[in-house]
Amino acid sequence: MVDKLLPSWNNTPTRQTLLDFIDRVTSRTGPEYVHPRDRVVTFDNDGTLWCEKPAYPQFVFAMQRLKRLAADNPALTKELAYEAAVENNLDYFESLYPDNLPALMKIVFDTHAGMSQTEFERLAREFLSDTNHPRFGLPYEQCIYQPMVEFIQLLQANNFKVFIATAGGMSFVRTISEEIYGVARENVIGSSIAFEIGRENDQLFLQRKPGLIEPLDEGQGKPINIELHVGRPPMLAAGNSNGDIEMLEFAESSGSLFLNMLLHHDDAEREYAYDEGAERALQLADDRGWTVVSMKEDFNKVFDF
């Protein structure tokens, strides 16, 4: 049964480590059995569940919005963010990460301030289904890592509670999490904005406000937001970058059995190969014995296309 659930994984020691962990946790007669209520799992999203190169999908989504706003009001192009969007200058946005992440996220989130939440979700859903990835030529919603989806399915089949802890917009990922990952909307944790009540024709709606609710769901913000939304630390945490370190440390410091996974992007032929932004995480994985998943060695296919 396990093989049928993990058809996109090679039969490597890494794969066996994952399966052994599930067996240890779920074996009722074993000494390491964990009650289902405590089987909390958190996955990062960008670069862990879907492709984050050459740019985070939500950055591209925000750039499209900036272009539309600049077309309606050319004076906006005097502002750096609008100018960069019009010129398709991804380097400008990337230059803000990670040292000026709040400013970057403010740009991303404020582009859709003032609209209803319903309208935002409609636009986000259309973007993910209609906008093609520049390399793979398929919609962003299809550029998800099939082996990771299979692993989520295996965990859920064994009564683990799977959550997504994304640095990106919580609302953005929620629009599609159930369809592409099988993870319920309410199990998506992420960076978020504030809302206010709007009314039109005596009908109440939620309207998006500018600005962000602290903390951002990145770095030190991940354990805080996991505690706020879940109330339990994860016993299995999966990420791919330095921004996931604190989430993995949260699982490690829980005082119970844990497994930390770090997805290593080392497959330039089928996806991308890069360590930038993951140097510290990879070193910690080596120092602390975290499980590093090699795309090149552990996946027999990356995408389901």
pLDDT digit string, tens, across residues 233-242 = 999 999 999 9
Residue 135 lies in a domain: no
pLDDT in tens, 6-20: 999 999 999 999 999
Residue 36 lies in a domain: yes
Residue 244 lies in a domain: yes
Q: Is the pTM of this model over 0.75?
A: yes
How far is the C-alpha of 5 from the C-alpha of 174, rounded, in Å? 24
Neighbouring residues of 254: CB distance < 8 A, sequence distance ≥ 6 = 233, 234, 235
Residues 96 and 24 in one domain: no
Residue 136 lies in a domain: no
Across residues 98-104, what is the average pLDDT? 83
Which is higher by pLDDT, 94 or 172? Answer: 172
CATH number of residue 18's parent domain: 3.40.50.1000
Cβ pair 225, 165 in contact under 8 A: yes
4 has a pLDDT exceeding 80 = no
Residue 112, domain extent: 57-130
Tell me the β-bridge partners of 261.
238, 291
Residues 261 and 220 in one domain: yes
Collapsing DSSP states into helix, strand and coil, what is residue 208? strand
What is the domain count for the chain? 2
Across residues 57-68, what is the average pLDDT? 94
Q: Which of 80, 102, 130 is the last residue of a domain?
A: 130
How far is the C-alpha of 233 from the C-alpha of 256, rounded, in Å? 10
